[in-house]
Amino acid sequence: MREEEVIQYLSKTPDFFSRHSDLLESLTLPHPINGKVVSLLEYQVNLLRQSTADYKGQFERLVEVARENESTMQKSRRLVLAGLTCSSLDDLAVVVDDMVRDDFEISHHAFVLYGEFPDSAVRSHLLVDDDVFLSHAAGFVDCFCGVLPANEMRFLFSDDIDSIRSVAVLPLLSREGGEIKKCGVLVLGAESESAFNKDKGAMFLQYIADLLSAILLRLLP
């Protein structure tokens, strides 16, 4: 009898092994991992264990993603509520300080607005063509994760530059009327080279940049 005929017969006779349980117990198969001969029942048990382990891993990953999503939602909610209470650029600077410290748990950051703001204590910088201080950081229209040139790192972080191994650049922009206007930048500095990853968390960073931009535009003179 050919294999196809055996398969066809067993498929059409699902109660075959119920009527021949002794045969089921005597059948042996190679172990899927170590190759040793095991009974069919043991083989099935091993497959079930592997399937259970796979499902458990998938479930744990789903739980982790759900927790990350909940955390992201809570951080976003706090930022929106805090932003609604801002009545000045100085208030926004305080909100950014609190967000970086409490939500990002990052000890280094630079919040810089482009232009001149004599009535505010917020840090500002007047961008010019071929700017030697922020030409790279100011050039992004989307969030960037990586490293910046040494001169820009020194301008942004001063004496902390030696302890910073990676940065995330959050451009603060106006996109009104389809025209992009650069309003400022928030640069986060981390002491770990893997703290910021463009493939993981970049969407959240961009979302934060967009929220901050919306709050900032409401406060700009």
Q: Spell out the per-residue pLDDT of the chain, length 221, in tens.
A: 677 877 777 787 777 667 776 666 666 656 555 556 556 566 666 667 777 777 788 888 888 877 877 887 888 888 889 988 999 999 999 999 999 988 888 889 999 999 999 889 999 999 887 788 898 999 999 999 999 999 999 999 988 888 999 999 999 999 888 899 999 999 999 998 888 877 767 888 898 999 999 999 999 98
Domain shared by 135 and 193, yes or no: yes
Q: Which of 84, 100, 129 is at the close of a domain? A: 84
What is the domain range of residue 16? 1-84
Domain shared by 98 and 195, yes or no: yes
Domain shared by 109 and 213, yes or no: yes
Domain shared by 119 and 175, yes or no: yes
Number of domains in the chain: 2
Domain shared by 140 and 195, yes or no: yes
Domain shared by 96 and 34, yes or no: no
Q: Which of 36, 57, 84 is at the close of a domain? A: 84
Q: Which of 61, 84, 107 is at the close of a domain? A: 84
Domain shared by 42 and 133, yes or no: no
Domain shared by 24 and 92, yes or no: no
CA atoms within 13 A on the CB side of 80: 8
Token output for 39: 């009974």
